[in-house]
Amino acid sequence: MPHVPPGVEIRELQSPDELDELVSIFDDVWRPDPGRRPVTTDMLRALSHAGNYVAGAFLGDHLAGGSVAFFGTPIGENLHSHMTGVSRRGRGHSVGHALKMHQRAWALRRGLTTITWTFDPLVARNAYFNFAKLGARPRHYYEDFYGDIGDELGGTDDSDRVLVTWALTEHPDELAERLDADGDPTAESLLATGAVLGIDTTDIARPTTDLTPVTHDATVVIPIPRDIETLRRTRPVEASRWRLALRRSLSPLLVDGEAARSVRFLRTGHYVLGPAGSAVPSPSKSPSKSPSGVSTSTTTLGAGRA
């Protein structure tokens, strides 16, 4: 299958033993409170049996990660990706990207045109993966989406999430060309040419947001911590301040329709939102096909809960 690195095999999971192993990987990634596992073996078995997406990534004979998704609305068009996790064994092998591309191909074979998922916008690596690697587009900011989820990865902070949509009608090669064409400016260069700073980090432990409404023609640069998970473990109060600052700065800018802003995420840990109306509309053409007739292409680590 295209986009699968050497030594990695992606396939759907159905047997209770494999599903139980996937649950163990998710437990290791999220480290939930006892009795509050994000998924269970019987739930995964039911989802798989009902025709939803439950897949695993193998390195040799070892399960190294997996992804779970189910059909969403609009019916017949969308797949909602709930969880994707990669074990410590799987890191460094592009397992997350391979899982996402497999999920994409699976959805296209069933006539679907979009995949949606939610992610924690404070997790920089996931933001970069979603926007810079996959080209997903944000749709909405949800405050405390899951309530208290009770896992170590999320800490005691509110479970804010951003909903993103991945248009499957854009071929991966064409997507890569578009993302490369966007370039990768620095936050400093954008601010020097008139962009608005969304969060003031003069005192890094006390990030503050200017609540003055951003004008429609402004470009906005919003920094976030490079490693929020460590910050939650070592300085939870500071991490909560970052949650509130990002909520205040990012949430009002994620609007739909003609006023939607383009969104990029830089390697340096900055969101860059273009002027109102700058979002590129989702392509409407049919996806390119491989010689076999299957669209060539393919979650983000921690999609959903993380």
pLDDT interval class at 288 (50, 70, 90): very low
The Cα 271–Cα 128 span in angstroms is 9
- Tell which phi-psi region holds residue 145, choosing left (phi > 0), alpha (psi between -120 and 50) or beta: alpha
Q: What is the reported pLDDT for 114?
A: 97
Q: What is the reported pLDDT for 282?
A: 52
pLDDT interval class at 193 (50, 70, 90): very high
Using one digit for the tens of pLDDT, what is the confidence trace for 106-124?
Answer: 999 999 999 999 999 999 9
Using one digit for the tens of pLDDT, what is the confidence trace for 204-230?
Answer: 999 999 888 899 999 999 999 999 999
**pLDDT, mean of residues 168-188:** 75
**Residue that has been written with the tokens 């190294």 in this structure:** 64
Using one digit for the tens of pLDDT, what is the confidence trace for 249-272?
Answer: 999 999 988 999 999 999 999 999
Share the mean pLDDT of the chain. 86
- Check: CB of residue 17 under 8 Å from CB of residue 45: no
- Check: CB of residue 59 under 8 Å from CB of residue 90: yes
**pLDDT, mean of residues 160-179:** 82
The Cα 281–Cα 262 span in angstroms is 10
- Check: CB of residue 260 under 8 Å from CB of residue 281: no
Q: Residue 146 burial (CB < 10 Å; 0-12/13-18/19+)?
A: middle
- Is the pLDDT assigned to residue 152 strictly greater than 70? no
The Cα 299–Cα 134 span in angstroms is 9
CA 281, 129, 203, 156 torsion: positive or negative? positive
Preceding peptide of 74 cis, ω within 30°: yes
